[in-house]
Homo-oligomer: A and B are copies of this chain.
């Protein structure tokens, strides 16, 4: 899926570029939009993020509209990978790319759990 990214003035730091930590929030925005609008699930996520990686390729200057692509990577019993590309929404110039590993989690029980079949089916339709 590809989404436009609503950036905020305070995402940009003293250099006039999006601050590096904000990219993990961008990844979270893509997960959130996929999970709620795409899957019809609640935005109070039933999974934890176990790992995150970002490669910063070119700076995101203020006034340049951004988009993000999210695609499914490997799916295991309890965990799955999402990969992301942040691009200039106009020119498709690559700005950053990365991935996160999610683990399905039962917050009431305080334990990881297998991915339910219904969620697995939604993940694989991404």
How many copies of the chain does the oligomer comprise? Answer: 4
Chain A interface residue bracket vs B: 35 or more
Question: Does A52 sit at the interface, judged by CB under 8 A?
Answer: yes
Q: How far is the CB of A118 from chain B (nearest CB, A)?
A: 19
Question: Does A49 sit at the interface, judged by CB under 8 A?
Answer: yes
Interface string of A38-72 (1 = CB under 8 A from B): 00001111001111111110010011000000000
Q: Are A32 and B14 in contact (CB under 8 A)?
A: no
Main DSSP-derived SS at the A contact region? mixed
Q: Are A8 and B20 in contact (CB under 8 A)?
A: no
The 9 closest A-B pairs by CB, nearest first: A6-B6, A21-B24, A10-B19, A21-B25, A20-B49, A53-B53, A52-B54, A14-B16, A43-B63
Question: Does A80 sit at the interface, judged by CB under 8 A?
Answer: no
Q: How far is the CB of A81 from chain B (nearest CB, A)?
A: 14
